Amino acid sequence: MTFGVVIFPGSNCDLDAIYAVSKALGQKVLSIWHQESVLPKVDAIILPGGFSYGDYLRPGAIASRSPVMKAIKNYANQGGWVMGICNGFQVLVESGLLPGILLRNISTRFISTMEALSVENQQTPFTRKFTLGQTIRLPIAHKDGNYFADPRLLEELKQNKQIVLKYQNNPNGSLEDIAGICNKEGNVFGMMPHPERAFAKWLGSSDGLCFFQSMLEAWEEKNE
């Protein structure tokens, strides 16, 4: 399986994602510069965390208009798997690939902690190796991770089972404790926690590896 990791000016978790996929998962990874307008042949795309374009304007807003995002939108619309982590989640929301908005944490402060989360949907390519309701531990590191949706959108997210992860002890004020969502089709997934920083027990948790293992398992099944 070949993963593509997109790199924006200000990305700082790209190497973490590359290491997790190449070393912990043992799969091929290609780096994709934000100015590329044509994607290489990949089986999944990862938008990593960081501070794309210094988080000027709004986090993810400028990056969402990078040339590569047009290609990623086409890729996603054709069913390609796209995973956005932290700043990558913000880019997905700003680009319209995922609904809702991400606001400043209610504390207005940057938060960096290990959090307990609940898996609310294990039927996506990104979460299939988890069990429904499973408690996992992942680190967070963000200042603008407060997810918000209006009542109509929130009801739609619930009906379509688009809420994938929830915080057990909401650290940032996210509506309904939301920590990660997917699109209606289930092939685009955004999450604020960092699975790439939790792929081995010596990091404090190995739960993050299951997201990447899920994608590999789904890909292998699809290509049998």
CA dihedral 112, 84, 49, 154 (to 10 degrees): -40
Three-state secondary structure readout of the chain: CEEEEEECCCECCHHHHHHHHHHHCCCEEEEEECCCCCCCCCCEEEECCECHHHHCCCCCCCHHHCHHHHHHHHHHHCCCEEEEECHHHHHHHHHCCCCCEEECCCCCCCEEEEEEEEECCCCCCCCCCCCCCCEEEEEEEECCCEEECCHHHHHHHHHCCCEEEEECCCCCCCHHHEEEEECCCCCEEEECCCHHHCCEHHHCECCCHHHHHHHHHHHHHHCC
Kindly name the residue from 94, 115, 120, 196 that is annotated as catalytic: 196
- Measured at the alpha carbon of residue 90, what is the angle toward residues 193 and 4, in degrees to the nearest 5? 75
Is residue 13 among the annotated active site residues?
no
Kindly name the residue from 13, 86, 182, 210 that is annotated as catalytic: 86
Is residue 142 among the annotated active site residues?
no
Candidates 179, 197, 177, 181; CA nearest to 189 is: 181
Is residue 196 among the annotated active site residues?
yes
What six digits make up the tokens of 149? 């949706």
Residues identified as active-site: 86, 194, 196
